[in-house]
Structure 1
Amino acid sequence: DIDGIREPVAGSLLYGNNIISGAVIPSSNAIGMHFYPIWEAASIDEWLYNGGPYQLIVLHFLLGVAAYMGREWELSYRLGMRPWIFVAFSAPVAAASAVFLVYPIGQGSFSDGMPLGISGTFNFMIVFQAEHNILMHPFHMAGVAGVFGGSLFSAMHGSLVTSSLIRETTENESTNYGYKFGQEEETYNIV
């Protein structure tokens, strides 16, 4: 019941969908922006009918991804590395937060969130483009170029640096400790 008009949208494999068309459908428009935990519904069937699993999955996903970002920062800190992996991972996390949380809040209902599935994702992108012409927005263009360009340059930089490192530390220490900020000599081979 994604539109709140008592007409169900079936996304499960039990309703005849295949692996491509199966999806977790967003919460009903009748729910709006209200938090809809399982104990607020009169029955499990009502909770499933109104798209309760969508909120459960999306909110736990966003919480888990945020915790994983913190874990990346902690591991970088404990290993003596700089936190650039954490910073790079924040771009796709921001994109996921935009389509799963920020956009539905802006539209006033979780029913406008992106469905969790292959066909649902493509349908969301087509409808989003039709309603908002997002592909021509300069900030969207810059964001896409930044995410893809950043991942490309990170991969190129990492492969070049790690393929040319000169070990300045022992086997029991991180190679990153071989570099001291402001040092004059190189820690990698330029030749």
Structure 2
Amino acid sequence: MKKVGKITPLSQYITDKMRARRLELGISAKELSEQISLFGGESVVGNIESVSTSLKYTTSTLRKAVEALDWTLKDVLPNELLDDDTLQDKTCIPILKGMSIKAALNSLLEQGFFDEPHDIKAVTAYYNTFFKPEDQKVDSDFSAQLEDLYNEGKLTKIPADRPKGETRLKFVRKGDSDIKS
């Protein structure tokens, strides 16, 4: 059984907010780490986001990361006090509530979802497993963002097996994409 790190609800909240912002901007954990670390190439952010460690953003690291992501500390901190300050299991939910479709797709890239080909219907169906029916999306909500990831060279398109005359494409990670950290 994999070891799961323990952190406070505030640390989890900050980690989730920073991850969502990083993904929204299309920045890999490695790229952000290189910007904020004294020792270039060290995956500080990847280790903070990993559920198998209890690492969290230090005040210094958080300030540097916030600046690198063109944010302020006010953007990261919660508007209301969180329930308590007891330790909890660290989590890394692939798609967080409030995450844009772009950030969600970048998260799925990092999590390995696109290591196997998926058509837009499969992407939509998987995305919707994280939400209540009233918050779910339709296929057309993903078209432009998937096309953007294709144009950025992060995904490639392959033909899907369909009945004659019907065309559908599947999206799969492009071999040289570095969004995965």
Task: Tell whether the structures are fold-level matches, with TM greater than 0.5.
Answer: no
Which structure has greater helix proportion?
1
Q: What is the TM-score normalised by the length of structure 2?
A: 0.25
Greater RCO (Cα-Cα under 8 Å, separation 6 or more): 2
Greater Rg by CA: 1
Which structure has greater strand proportion?
2
